[in-house]
Amino acid sequence: MKKSSFILILLFTIFYSFNVYATDTVVSMNKYNEEKFMFIEDSFDNENKKDGFITGGYILREVIEQDNQEFNDYQAIVVKYDSNNKIAWRYIYGSTKEDYLDYLSYSYNSEGTIDGYLLVVKPTANIGEEVSNESLFIKLSLDGKKVLEKNLNINKDITINKIIPSYNGEGIVDGYITIGNNNDNSYLIKLDRDLNVIFEKEVYKDIYTDINYNDIELVYKDNSLIGYVVLKELVTGDDKHLQLVRFNINGEEETVIADDLDKYESCKLAESTDGFILYGATNDVKLSKGDVSYYLINYNSNNENNWEIFGDTPLDKNKVVKLLPLKDNGLKEYLLLYSNNVDKSTEVIKVALDGTIKNKVKKIYDEYYTIEDFSLSNNIIYLVGQINCPKDDTCEYDSNSLFLISDEEKVIEVKDNDSRNILIITCIFVALIAGTIVIRKKKVVKKKK
């Protein structure tokens, strides 16, 4: 009897070891009418050691009735989760007009060490009040206290889309490089560590209806910063044309690297040890199911195509594709996150620096999740976004913030048919063993008689 029980437990364990979904722990604030996280970064203590995560996004604090109208009081929020995944502090920004967090990054001291968190927002006001559209920088200390509030002070109503640290020849953070737009032109702006403008490069529309800088990344050669690359969108009437443009270290446009990016469904930039990475979703692939998959292209410092990857997994084009550089005394490898459109799961794969796909490390069922960003710490993946209430269910709130901890390390891919076959074979095997045990018992009883 003990032997047969052991066999049954063993079979049960073998079958469930084929489970393709990761073990998840979901944390939500569950405090406001609507919540969504858009960013996640490592958090640090005063000794510059990692001690959790910083997440950022927005909340709907309340719906205000005024002059027979309803106004949504959206406000920007930054939340720190400690090493036990508990909320350590919150910082909320905004008055009664709609306020959002446009970007989240780090701030740095005179030695180039992280000393806080940098928020990019718009100036807030109450409903009906006039306010500038120029982006505002807010610096938080490591314990979540506001220590600085500053704008560009160039009176051009520039909306900043992205801000990333820049480095001097010794590899120490010496300030920031930003991109932004207003109603007239686009801008590449270099700031020092105190957010003072070092240079401002303005691009005029000329013959175009609009010009937008959509993304920016640093360009490296032999691990030294040599310039910047920008995704530049040219708009003429209803037509949009996307270019990949190279700038030198002084912010001067040097060359158009690629002028045919319109063939891609989406384009984003990421860093590399030599050059940079262009990635996103494309329909320029052959798939049996779906028409869009991921791509990664490594352009080296000479603007040449060093290597490229085109996926064979159908993607949900409405969900994010995100490339995460992993560092350990320098860039080590990448994690690529995307949404599988076949089984409605979020998958994460590991990519080597030479463009080799190493293995799949996560597979998370995400029917009710909208994932926006992710990070990795001690082989545990942390994902942020929003939890959406199922249509056929009643929830306290329609959408809560998502902070998901996924600690399953190994993913074994099993196709749907294979999974059913395994179940059928297992059931038959169990039935045969049970039948054999019954027959043997009957023979033993007959012998005793």
> What is the mean pLDDT for each group of 10 consecutive residues in the chain (449 residues)?
44 42 78 94 95 97 91 96 96 95 96 96 93 93 97 89 93 95 92 96 85 95 92 90 95 94 94 96 75 94 95 91 93 96 92 94 87 94 91 72 80 45 48 56 51
In terms of Cα–Cα distance, which of 206, 41, 24 is closest to 140?
41
Kindly state the tokens that stand for 437: 């045990």
Task: List 360's β-bridge partners, or say none.
Answer: 349
pLDDT of residue 17: 40
The rounded radius of gyration (Å) of the Cα atoms in the chain is 26
pLDDT of residue 23: 66
In terms of Cα–Cα distance, which of 332, 339, 272, 255 is closest to 308?
272
**Element (H or E) spanning 16, and its range?**
helix 2-16
Length of the chain equals: 449
In terms of Cα–Cα distance, which of 243, 109, 262, 115 is closest to 175?
109
pLDDT of residue 434: 53
Q: How far, in Å, CA of 354 to CA of 308, rounded?
A: 9
pLDDT of residue 59: 97
pLDDT of residue 159: 93
Read off the amino acid at residue 359. Answer: N
What sign has the CA pseudo-torsion 130, 134, 139, 144? positive
> If you ran DSSP here, which 8-state letter would residue 394 be given?
-
Residue 143's Cβ-side half-sphere holds a number of Cα atoms within 13 Å equal to: 2
Q: How far, in Å, CA of 273 to CA of 65, rounded?
A: 53
> If you ran DSSP here, which 8-state letter would residue 251 be given?
S
pLDDT of residue 428: 56
Start-to-end Cα distance in the chain = 21
Instruction: Answer yes or no: are the C-beta atoms of 77 and 101 closer than 8 Å.
Output: yes
> Exposed e or buried b for every residue in 74-109, given b needs 16+ CB within 10 A?
bbbbbbbbeeeeeebeebebbebbbbbbbbbbbbbe
pLDDT of residue 124: 95
pLDDT of residue 441: 55
Kindly state the tokens that stand for 173: 């953070």
